[in-house]
Amino acid sequence: MSGKSYHTSNPETEGAIDRNVPDFPIAGQSEEESYFRTHSAPSYLPEIQAQLESFIEYHLKNTGKRIALVTSGGTTVPLENNTVRFIDNFSAGTRGATSAEYFLENGYAVIFLHREFSLLPYSRHYSHTTNCFLDYMVEKDNKIEISPDFAPEMLQVLRKYNAAKSSNSLILVPFTTVNQYLFTLRMGSEALKKMGKNALFYLAAAVSDFFLPQSRMPQHKIQSQASGKLIVDLEQVPKFLSRLVDNWAPRSMIISFKLETDDSILIKKATAALDKYQHQLVIGNLLQTRKKEVVFVKPDSSQDWVRLTDKQVETNVEIESLIIPKVVQEHTLWINS
């Protein structure tokens, strides 16, 4: 796996209420640009940019692989600059981490833009289970061994992990807050411009729709004595997908996910997203059934359901093993179009 690791979960407290930063304006025409003018980029971004550029250059020169930028996990919305409290969402990053593995299996290099401490490709099989990691090991002749109950499966996972590492095919890029996510996605998409149509964006992260602008963020922990109530007044996160499609990555294939909890509006919302952003594919899913079925919605209004059979559910087939080959097919069509 390439890249030095960064911690995104510690807030950058220096940037606290800076009254020189203009107020975040109410939503308007160029809300994406004003977002970047009125918010600070994470301080570590230039280093990540250098790593990403060399990863992309490596594949352009040496392997000719297509690159998938996979986003994964939820974003936090801090309520204080020295962050004690934040708003979060449910996403554990299962879709993103699992999909990344299948992209790698299908010959892609993967930029894995993920929420720090959410699931990672390969280690996901062991990191967030209800087993303690020590349960995977046994003591034998004064040494530690992998328990024979788990060893055969772990060997398969280890081989795939080592193959991804030794071929420099996977780079891990973390974020925690919605601000870090937005700046990193913009930087990553600019870096991927040189891949042209060979780049694919697979936007599975559950990005917050609302946030607290930097210009209104208190420096210190909100005190409970002050009013006895906490009223939170959030702004809408600008719709970055249009920027991504039109400016940041105009030639790449872009796949967004649409998450709903009400099945009667899923298709309508997925179609509306395609109309609005003019990208190539929306994969719709419902919170309740997301591990068993998704729907591919395309600009020609076609709806193509991908469903696991009962047998597949029983035998733990992962739906991403069906989703990714279909996505790869769509990407090939896009490249040849």
Binding residues (CB under 6 A) for ligand 9Z3: these are 91-95, 203-204, 206-207, 256-259, 285, 290
Pairing between β-strand 67-72 and β-strand 199-203 as defined by DSSP bridges: parallel
Record the tokens describing residue 263, joined without a space.
């099945």
CB-wise, 166 or 261, nearer to ligand 9Z3?
261
CA-nearest of 208, 335, 206 to 280 is 335
Q: Which is nearer to ligand 9Z3, 56 or 255 (CB)?
A: 255
Closest to 104 (Cα-Cα) out of 202, 26, 184: 202
Beta bridge partners of 303: 297
CB-nearer residue toward ligand 9Z3: 24 or 277: 277
**Dihedral of the alpha carbons of 329, 208, 119, 190, in degrees to the nearest 10:** 50
Instruction: CB nearer to ligand 9Z3: give 82 or 288.
Output: 288
Least gap, CB of 221 to ligand 9Z3 (angstroms): 29
Smallest distance, ligand 9Z3 to C-beta of residue 309, A: 20
CB 66 within 8 Å of CB 109: yes
- Residue 260 C-beta: closest distance to ligand 9Z3, Å: 7
Closer CB to ligand 9Z3, 52 or 203, in the complex: 203
Q: How far is the CB of 94 from ligand 9Z3 (least distance, A)?
A: 3
Q: How far is the CB of 325 from ligand 9Z3 (least distance, A)?
A: 17
- How far, in Å, CA of 253 to CA of 262, rounded? 28
Q: Which residues lie closer than 8 Å to 62 by C-beta, 6 or more apart? A: none
